[in-house]
Amino acid sequence: MAESKIMNVLLCGIGGQGVLTASEILAEAAILAGHDVKKTEVAGMAQRGGVVTSHLRFGPKVFSPAIPPGQADVLLAFELAEGLRWISHLKPEGIALVNTMRVIPPVVSTGLFSYPDDPLADIRAAGNRMAPIDAGGIARELGNSRLVNSIMLGAVADALPFEPGAIKACLVKRFSAKKPELGEVNARAFEAGRAAALAAAKAA
């Protein structure tokens, strides 16, 4: 990353997926790597499955936390339709890492909005680089559906300008503080997400 370069990472998803926790861990890793960091977030009825977004910016000096449309280097989408909704924020040369799991929010189940027929195809049609990640399936294989955020952190690790191990260390530290075994299973989830993203990149 050039000395004057600011990295813009936009995270989006549905409440309960760990979007804000993932953003906090990425911010901590960026700070430890010596970057100035600014972060902002919007959680609309997050506990009820509402939309959650977090703007994360880091570099030598960052003045504003907000990422303008078309300026995100990385879109980290924890849910398909949310990935589609925010794809316009991505730079033409940016990359979208998208969890292929569908989570139907209350605004859809109550009939206020309709869910896109094929959001993954629509994201591909936008023309950006995109890596689909079956984070829900990987989490089920690991025996814990709550591991989606750690899987997605692994998926984004090689798209950021610091060592993947820095993110993993922050992740393990956070969860080990609760229970040592949580640190271990989240570390496995991180590596599984990283492997999935690398495989998706090769297949593209």
Q: Residue 44's pLDDT is what?
A: 57
Q: Is residue 1 part of a domain?
A: no
Residue 164 falls inside a structural domain = yes
> Is residue 2 a part of any domain in this protein?
no
Give 196: exposed, middle or buried? Use CB within 10 Å, 0-12, 13-18, 19+.
buried
pLDDT tens digits for 180-194?
889 999 999 999 999
> In Å, how far from its chain's centre is CA 12?
7
In tens, the pLDDT along 26-57 reads 999 999 999 999 999 876 554 555 788 999 99
Give the count of domains, the chain. Answer: 1
**Per-residue model confidence as pLDDT tens digits over 96-125:** 999 998 887 766 767 767 888 999 999 999
Q: What are phi and psi of 4, to 5 degrees?
A: -90, 5
Interval 49-78: pLDDT, tens: 578 899 999 999 999 999 999 999 999 999
- CA dihedral (98, 52, 142, 169) in degrees, to 10, reads 90
Residue 31 lies in a domain: yes
Q: How far apart are CA 146 and CA 136, in angstroms?
A: 9
Q: Is the pLDDT of residue 3 over 60?
A: no
In a domain, 49, yes or no: yes
State how far the Cα of 81 lies from the Cα of 13, in Å rounded to an integer: 9
pLDDT of residue 46: 45
Q: Is-contact 157 119, C-beta < 8 A?
A: no
Has residue 91 been placed in a domain? yes
Of 203, 194, 204, nearest to 163 (Cα)?
194
Kindly report the pTM of this predicted structure: 0.92
Domain that holds residue 96: 7-203
Distance of CA 109 to the CA centre of its chain: 24
Task: Indicate whether 74 belongs to any domain.
Answer: yes
CATH of the domain at 87: 3.40.920.10
Residue 109 lies in a domain: yes
Give 147 or 1, the one with higher predicted confidence. 147
